[in-house]
Structure 1
Amino acid sequence: MIDLRIRAATPDDLDTVLAFWKTAAEGTSISDDRDGVQRLVARDPEALILAERDGLLVGTVIAGFDGWRCHLYRLAVDPERRRQGIGSALLAAAEERFARLGGRRLDAMVLTRNETAHHAWRAAGYTPEEQWRRWVKPLDD
């Protein structure tokens, strides 16, 4: 996507991100508030990755790394712009970040009831591990 800009969120983006999640993310989390997102950006300034087109937020993913395992949360794409490669670009950016950090295996938190997302995760090479209710993808295979 030539006109897609991928970048890390800054503290100035928090309100925009929270408003975006209300329309683009499936379901909500107890940490979907300004304090929760602010803690994330303060602790790991590169973890919240944004996709912008023409200056507008069109996608997000949280790419957290705890030093051992890589975790993906809040992959969300504007419903009007889905199936245009935005989610794939965000996942590629997250996987590149994890590789730079030395991550070898990652998991994605995906709501069981969010069947719309299941196809996208499978297309990106992730497989569900129903035992743990997460989706995983080895980075070094």
Structure 2
Amino acid sequence: MIDLQIRPAAAEDAEAVLAFWKESAEGTSVSDDVDGVTRLVERDPEALLLAVADGRIVGSVIAGWDGWRASLYRLAVLPPYRRRGISTALLRAADERFLALGGRRVDAMVLEANGTGQRLWTAAGYERQDHWRRWVRPLTR
């Protein structure tokens, strides 16, 4: 068993979070830079949850709450630390956050090509809703 701490990220974690995501997460986001991570942490200091063990980030999840919806993004675990309950611990912490805020349902963003992620979400009790699709466009000035 590893000594695991789940804690909110701080602005000074931004570079370490980005390095962790590069090694552990599937896909990228338009906000994958120090400014994007820092803005997230400053706007909602409890949203980016980190799992820390052996003095390093070994897991993350963004537990976003907009006052109406509870959304999960960027659930990732460092490959050598997988299958040790870290995802479960992160999801438990996210659930606690959402329940305290009044959340009723949680949505998770999962890449179509991420088979490992889809199996994890299924094992965690999430169900795919094929009738929904995400529509996006970049913001421009």
TM-score, reference length from structure 2: 0.91
Amino acid in the other structure paired with 2:123: A
Q: Given residue 126 of structure 2, which amino acid in structure 1 is its aligned partner? A: Y
**Hey, what does 2:52 align to over in structure 1?**
52
- 2:39 aligned with 1:39, yes or no? yes
Alpha-carbon offset, residue 85 of structure 1? 0.4
Any unmatched runs of 5+ in structure 1? 135-141
1:123 corresponds in structure 2 to 123
Q: Secondary structure at the match of 1:129?
A: coil
Q: Give the total of aligned pairs.
A: 134
Deviations 1:77-128 (A, max 9, x none): 0011111100110000000000000100110000010011111101111011
Report the alpha carbon displacement of residue 18 of structure 1 after superposing the two structures with TM. 0.3
Larger-gyration structure (1/2) = 2
The offset of 1:133, in angstroms, is 4.5
Percent identity (aligned): 65
Equivalent residue, structure 2, for 1:63? 63
Q: Which has the higher strand share?
A: 1
Superposition pairs for residues 96-111 of structure 1, below 5 Å?
Answer: 96-111=96-111
Deviations 1:35-91 (A, max 9, x none): 111111010000000001121110000001000010000001001111110011000
CA distance in 2, matches of 1:133, 1:47: 24
8 Å contact kept, 2:2–2:53: no
Q: Distance in 2 between matches of 1:38 and 1:130?
A: 33
Whether the 8 Å contact between 1:112 and 1:133 is mirrored in structure 2 is no
Name the amino acid aligned to 1:73.
Y
RMSD value over aligned CA atoms? 1.2
Unmatched 5+ residue regions in structure 2? 135-141
